[in-house]
Amino acid sequence: MSTYDTDPILESQAELTAASHVARVEAGRKSVVLKDRFGRVHRSMRISVTDVCNIRCQYCMPAEDVQFLPSASRLSYDQIVSFVRVASRCGIQKYRLTGGEPLTRPNLHELVQGLSALECVRELALTTNGMLLADQIDRLAAAGLTRVNISLDTLSEDTFKTLSRRQGLNRVLEGIEACCQRGDIELKLNALVLRDVNLCDVVELVQFSRARNLQIRFIEFMPLDGSRAWSNSRMVSGQELRELIAREIGPIQPLNRPSPSAPSTDYTFADGSGRVGFIDSVSQPFCGSCDRLRLTAEGRLRNCLFGREEWDVACQLKTGAIDEAEIVNTLQACTQAKHASHGIAEPGFTPPERAMYQIGG
């Protein structure tokens, strides 16, 4: 486990040790709830299965010389399933597989199958750039996957190439089409807008989604790019996009959040056709209702995208016989150390060492 920082609200080491003891006892009773110091109960987890990606989005990865983890250091599917079995007994019911590009990892459907067979897993979703999806969606759906988010930032091959430094928009569109045709996948599109690259694509993206009865959600650009080139001026706020969409397409009205921890604020068009969502992580942070933990591909547990601490669960999963209480203890410690907010707007903020593809978005 990494060291605790000196946040005054954080319990003393002695209190944490006592909390660990409680966790161990409670693990035996299978009644642990992952509640943090601010009363947030944690119910969802993002699991990165790899940091490898087949494209190089400007807002996520450096352009060149990307150093990926050695494949031997990634958690195996069995280890991930073992970990989720314990986490799900601590109240984590919703899981999303991500990366890097999760579909670059061979046989991802085997992991989906292992996870969807676990009793306490209520929701299992995938976030993907869609390029390898058309080939895999049938296997993934047969294994139990029911929710997919596909990243789609543009409908222009030229802009796709500028943004992702690779070609292949047609493959993304094939992935979207393959999901739509099945009819049993809850599909959403995610778009990230950089002012100087794809702001001019927003209207077309909304019309594309609306025509297919798909929800598109716009994610604000966060300082998590591998090139460390984030700037406020390149980020386009949700508010600016809402004004643009209302002006260019038609009035939109906010909908009630399906759950307080949902990151997206959803809107519907006043004429009732089509939904668009906004994940305003920078301009209107939703940390107060965040219920997420994150597991990196090499088995480090994190409590925030912007956190500076990580808890090593890989070492706890490498031994033959897994000590459940030890893993529960780690989940508790990680949850307890979570800060009130990501602090992007605070003076002296510096981005975390890891970029988005190394954490799992």
Name the site residues for ligand SAM (rule: CB under 6 A).
53, 59-60, 98-99, 101, 127-129, 151, 190, 192, 219, 221-222, 224-225, 356-357, 361
241 binds, among ligand SAM, ligand SF4, none (CB under 5 to 8 A by kind): none
Please report where in the chains the tokens 């990926």 appear, as a residue. Answer: 68
Of ligand SAM, ligand SF4, none, which one does residue 221 interact with (CB within 5 to 8 Å by kind)?
Answer: ligand SAM
Which of residues 91 and 360 has its CB atom nearest to ligand SAM in the complex? 360
> How far is the C-alpha of 68 from the C-alpha of 231, rounded, in Å?
25
**Smallest separation, CB 301 to ligand SF4 (Å):** 20
Closest to ligand SF4 by CB, 129 vs 336, is 129
Q: Pick out residues in 150-169 that bind ligand SF4 (CB under 6 A).
A: 151
Residue 190 touches which of ligand SF4, ligand SAM, none (Cβ within 5-8 Å per kind): ligand SAM
Instruction: Say whether residue 60 binds ligand SF4 (CB under 6 A).
Output: yes
- Nearer Cβ to ligand SF4 (145/152): 152
Give the dihedral sign, CA 95/98/103/107.
Answer: negative
Cβ at position 127, least distance to ligand SAM in Å: 4
Choose the stretch contacting ligand SF4; rule: CB under 6 A; options: 34-42, 98-106, 133-141, 169-177: 98-106
Please identify, using beta-carbon distances, which residue of 61 and 202 lies nearer to ligand SF4.
61
SS3 1: coil
CA distances from 260 to 77, 288, 295 (A): 31, 9, 22
Least distance CB 61 / ligand SF4 (angstroms): 4
The token duo for 58 is 């400007």
Q: What is the DSSP letter of 325?
A: H
SS3 assignment for 195-218: CCCCHHHHHHHHHHHHHCCCEEEE
Q: Token pair of 300, please?
A: 């480090």
Binding ligand SF4 by CB under 6 A: which of 23, 47, 81, 99?
Answer: 99
Question: Shortest CA distance to 95 belongs to which of 33, 44, 59?
Answer: 44
Q: Which long-range contacts (CB under 8 A, 24 or more apart) does 345-348 make?
A: 345/282, 345/285
CB atoms within 10 A of CB 110: 15
Count the site residues for ligand SF4 by CB under 6 A: 13
The length of the chain in residues reads 361
**Interface stretch with ligand SF4, choices 52-60, 74-82, 138-146, 328-336 (CB under 6 A):** 52-60
Q: Which amino acid is at 320?
A: G
CA 349 to CA 343: how far, in whole Å?
A: 7
Binding partner at 333 among ligand SF4, ligand SAM, none, C-beta below 5 to 8 Å by kind:
none
Min CB(62)–ligand SF4 separation in Å: 10
Phi, psi dihedral angles at 53 (to 5 degrees): -140, 150
Of 91, 100, 274, 277, the one binding ligand SF4 (CB under 6 A) is 100
Of 55-63, 154-162, 201-209, 272-280, the segment contacting ligand SF4 by CB under 6 A is 55-63
**Which region, left, alpha or beta, applies to residue 61 given φ > 0 means left and ψ of -120 to 50 means alpha?**
beta
344 binds ligand SF4 (CB under 6 A): no
Site for ligand SF4, rule CB under 6 A? 53, 55-57, 60-61, 99-101, 129, 151, 356-357
